[in-house]
């Protein structure tokens, strides 16, 4: 069973997350040939002050 871990900035609505996991599940099933029941998706909301790119916190940009 595929388990997909997604980290993204906090602030998305439940509806946005619902649409996202539906689309990712469909793409996973299509590309891997598995059933939707086999796909687990874990979403981790991350604060911008806890994420950095290029040596800079996203909260500072």
Active-site annotation, residues: 2
Element at 50 (helix H, strand E): none
Torsion of CA 19, 17, 2, 46, to 10 degrees: 150
Residue 16 in contact with residue 53, Cβ under 8 Å? no
């Amino acid at each position: 069973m595929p388990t997909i871990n997604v980290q993204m900035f906090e602030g998305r609505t439940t509806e946005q997350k619902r649409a996202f996991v539906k689309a990712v599940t469909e793409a996973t099933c299509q590309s891997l040939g598995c059933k939707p029941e086999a796909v687990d998706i874990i979403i981790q909301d991350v604060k911008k002050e806890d994420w950095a790119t290029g040596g800079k916190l996203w909260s500072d940009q």
